[in-house]
A and B are shown apart, each in its own frame.
Chain A
Amino acid sequence: MRMPRSLILGSLLTMVFAGGALLSFIWTPYDIETLAIPQRLQTPTGAHWLGTDQLGRDIVSMIMMGARTSIAVALLAVGIGICLGVPLGLVAAARRGSMLDEVIMRGNDLIFAFPSLVIAILITAVFGAGATNAIIAIGIFNIPVFARVTRGAALSFWSRDFILAARVAGKSPARISVEHILPNIANLLIVQSTIQFSLGILAVAALSYIGLGAQPPTASWGRMLADAQTLASIAPHVALVPGLAIVFTVLGLNLMGDGLRDLLDPRIRVART
């Protein structure tokens, strides 16, 4: 079986940024908490590969620290979606047609109908801007996504013979859900996770751009862009670099998601050949 090219390219891009974020825990080229005003707004040089920002901080270091924030927020938001959405979806599928199923799915529709950005703004505005509230605000909207995907996929398995066999053997619906359904739909959940992860990166960038994400001195890509906006005419690179970091990370995750789907879903592979 050949690896899809999008998977290779996507994983490479993702690894660059994830690697940068991990590396930032032990090493960054410069310390971003010391300001060096005389060296501000330098264009890329040998000492500062991507130049410096308006406070003289090294942009490579800022991007690495920002990657850490973006990835952490988006990852935790996906975690919220999986931890709450998947069980809800499994329960809805196990008790399909029941009142409970109906309530879960209607609740999902309801959250779907809300413009996520507006709610996120409301949450962070009222409870205060910060990474934690951004995680919650983004995470809430991941719940119905995972619940819906899980339920849809799980339903198709409940009618299968091997599930019937497990029921005849006396296993409870809860055990069947965990032991037989979950492993079978894991592929789908992984693909969905990469998609939600990339959407999360975009959402946290937008939130921190409007000042409602992680607060300074924590570096974040959205914040870097907001700071760079007024300087864009004199130092375009300060505005370009964080944007490109977002684009490449999201692109990498999307490509990885596409590639994983092709790799894990045999039906699509057949359809392509």
Chain B
Amino acid sequence: MIRYMIGRVTSLCLSLVVASMVIFTVVEIVPGDPAAYMLGVNARPDTIAALRTELGLDLPTAQRYVAWVTGMLQGDFGTSYTYRTPVSQMVADRIAVSLPLALLALAITVVIAFPAGIYAASHRGRTGDLGVMGATQLGIAVPNFWFAMILVLIFAIKLRWVSAGGFPGWDAGLFKGLKALILPAFALALPQAAILTRVMRSSLLDMLNEDFIRTARAKGLSRRQALWRHAVRNALIPVLTIIGLQFSFLLAGGIVIEQVFFLPGMGRLIFQAISSRDLIVVESVVMLLIASVIIVNFAVDLAYAAVDPRLRTGA
């Protein structure tokens, strides 16, 4: 286990280092001078020079990279050029939207996928199974932002149950906040629910072919009892891995959905920063997003190894 841990932690650190280098390089090779890029075409040379000094652009590249990374490790993500506020403060406000959105979407994914997957597996080959599988084919093919637009059209514009977008803030009350997130969460969850349903179904079907299910049936359990007591529990192991991966996907995928609903989350922060050419914000927020995805994946790996001893020795 310790060897496995060391291996995983090494690759985690390596991923983070490479990710930071990639992002730094990409922003570094912006055509032209970053300071000139940020100030736009009409900037005066002395303003550009001043910004260059302020950003430390006259320092050597390696030194700036180290400064950026050590700053982030200490919780200093730099200062937004356009808003003149610390990026960490801006990010904290946005996470209060993006994280609940991803969690809510994950909950919806699970609530849809588990029953649907179990139902399909236990009705294998029959009409119900075909129906569920057809629905998942469709779910995978639907772009989530388009599904979001359809939801807005039905529930916000026609039925007027919820508002079409925006976020009242958590100060307005938990209920109002959740109400603003429910449609985006559904839109985000649909394709993931379709994928998870398929994983749940096939994992359960694998289990139903196992010897221990036959044994359970032989000792007198009904099909239903064998399914619920033995098959479902074992089928959950691969399903949990996928859920972990999906969470990081939901976190990153929220970017587009936030655009549809005008939610003030991380995604919109990135876009605002891009359009105002605020490279410091872009750089730090993208890094933060990628780091959280990598760390979630790492946590999933560890959790998986904790449940399944075979993995620890195999790696």
A interface residues (Cβ-Cβ under 8 A, vs B): 106, 109-110, 113-115, 117-119, 121-123, 125-127, 198, 202, 205-206, 209-210, 225, 228-229, 232-233, 236, 239-240, 242-243, 246-248, 250-251, 254-255
28 inter-chain pairs at a CB distance below 8 angstroms, sorted by A residue, are A109-B15, A110-B18, A113-B294, A114-B293, A115-B249, A115-B289, A115-B290, A117-B255, A118-B290, A121-B255, A125-B274, A126-B27, A126-B30, A126-B282, A198-B141, A202-B141, A202-B143, A206-B143, A225-B145, A225-B146, A225-B149, A229-B149, A239-B150, A242-B146, A246-B142, A246-B146, A248-B141, A254-B141
**Is there a chain A Cβ closer than 8 Å to B80's Cβ?**
no
Bound CA–CA A229/B153 (angstroms): 9
Contact A117 B143 (CB under 8 A): no
* Closest A residue to B153 using CB positions: A232
Residues of A within 8 A of B153 (CB): 232-233, 236, 239
Q: Which residues of A contact B271 (CB under 8 A)?
A: 210
Please report the C-alpha to C-alpha distance between residue A15 and residue B197 in the assembled complex, in whole angstroms.
Answer: 29
Contacts of A228 in B (CB 8 A): 149
- Given the contacts A115-B249, A247-B138, A254-B137, A206 and B286 also touching, CB distance less than 8 Å: no
- CB-based contact A210/B259 at 8 Å: yes
Q: Mark B10-40, 1 if CB is under 8 A from A, else 0.
A: 0100110011001100110111000000000
The answer to whether A106 and B137 have CB atoms under 8 Å apart is no
Bound complex: CA A118 to CA B294 (Å)? 13
Instruction: Give 4 closest A-B pairs by Cβ, nearest first.
Output: A115-B252, A243-B146, A250-B141, A251-B141
Could you say which residues of chain A place their CB within 8 Å of the CB of B286? Answer: 118, 121-122
Taken together as a complex, chains A and B put the C-alpha atoms of A125 and B276 apart, in Å, by 11
Please indicate the chain A residues that have their CB under 8 angstroms from the CB of B157 in the complex.
232-233
Q: Which chain B residue lies CB-closest to A243? A: B146
**Judging by beta carbons under 8 Å apart, are A113 and B297 in contact?**
yes
- The interface residues of chain B, by DSSP majority, are classed as helix
Q: Chain B contacts of A255 at CB under 8 A? A: 137
Given contacts A113-B15, A209-B145, contact A250 B252 (CB under 8 A): no
Q: Please name all residues of chain A whose beta carbon is closer than 8 Å to the beta carbon of B146 when the two chains form the complex.
A: 205, 225, 239, 242-243, 246-247
- For the complex, give the distance between the alpha carbons of A149 and B270 in Å: 33
Tell whether, in the assembled complex, residue A118 and residue B252 are in contact, meaning their CB atoms are under 8 Å apart.
yes
Shortest Cβ gap from A270 to chain B (Å): 15
In the complex formed, the residue of A with least CB distance to B285 is A118
Q: Besides A114-B290, A202-B143, A250-B140, 19 other CB < 8 A contacts?
A: A109-B15, A110-B15, A114-B293, A115-B252, A117-B256, A118-B286, A118-B293, A121-B274, A121-B286, A125-B274, A126-B30, A126-B282, A198-B141, A209-B256, A210-B271, A229-B149, A246-B141, A247-B142, A254-B137
| Interfacial chain A residues near B18, Cβ < 8 Å | 110
Give the interface size class of chain B: 35 or more
Nearest-CB distance from B305 to chain A (Å)?
Answer: 16
Chain B CB within 10 Å, residue with most, of A118, A225, A228: A118
B253 at the interface (CB under 8 A from A): yes
Contacts of A233 in B (CB 8 A): 153, 157
Q: Contacts of A248 on B, CB cut-off 8 Å?
A: 141
CB distance from A129 to the nearest CB of B (A): 10
Complex: A248 Cα to B145 Cα, angstroms = 16
B98 within 8 A of partner (CB):
no
Q: State in angstroms the CA–CA spacing of A233 and B274 once bound together.
A: 29
Question: Which residues of chain B are within 8 angstroms of A232 by Cβ–Cβ distance?
Answer: 149, 152-153, 157
Give chain B residues whose Cβ lies under 8 Å from the Cβ of A125: 270, 274, 282
Q: Which of A106, A117, A246 contacts B252 (CB 8 A)?
A: A117
Closest residue of chain A to B298 (Cβ to Cβ) is A113
State whether the Cβ of B260 lies closer than 8 Å to any Cβ in chain A: yes
- A122, A229, A254 interface centre (most CB from chain B within 10 Å): A122
Which of chain B's residues 196-222 have a Cβ closer than 8 Å to chain A?
Answer: none
> Is B109 an interface position by the 8 A CB rule?
no
Q: With an 8 A cutoff between CB atoms, is B192 at the interface?
A: no
Tell me whether A251 and B282 are in contact in the complex, defined as CB-CB below 8 angstroms, given that A115-B252, A243-B150 are known contacts.
Answer: no
Q: With a CB–CB cut-off of 8 A, which chain A residues contact B290?
A: 114-115, 118-119
Distance A122 CA – B27 CA, assembled complex (angstroms): 9
Residues of A within 8 A of B29 (CB): 126
Contact of B26 among A115, A117, A123, A251 (CB under 8 A): A123
Q: How far is the CB of A34 from chain B (nearest CB, A)?
A: 27
Kindly identify, within residues 99 to 157 of chain B, every residue whose CB is under 8 Å from any CB belonging to chain A.
137-138, 140-143, 145-146, 149-150, 152-153, 157
Bound: A233/B154 CA distance, A: 9
On chain A, the residues within 8 Å of B142 by CB distance are 243, 246-247
In the complex, are the beta carbons of B137 and A251 less than 8 A apart?
yes
Q: Quick check: B149 and A239 within 8 Å, CB to CB?
A: yes
Output the residue of B22, B149, B260 with the most chain A CB within 10 A: B149
Question: How far is the CB of A205 from the nearest CB of chain B, in Å?
Answer: 5
- Least distance between A199 CB and chain B CB atoms (Å): 10
A242 neighbours in B (Cβ, 8 Å): 146
Please give the distance in Å from B2's CB to the nearest CB on chain A: 21
Contacts of B294 in A (CB 8 A): 113-114
Which residue of B is nearest A252, CB measured? B141
- Establish whether residues A122 and B26, one from each chain, have CB atoms under 8 Å apart when the complex forms: yes
Q: Bound state CA distance, A226 and B142, in angstroms?
A: 16
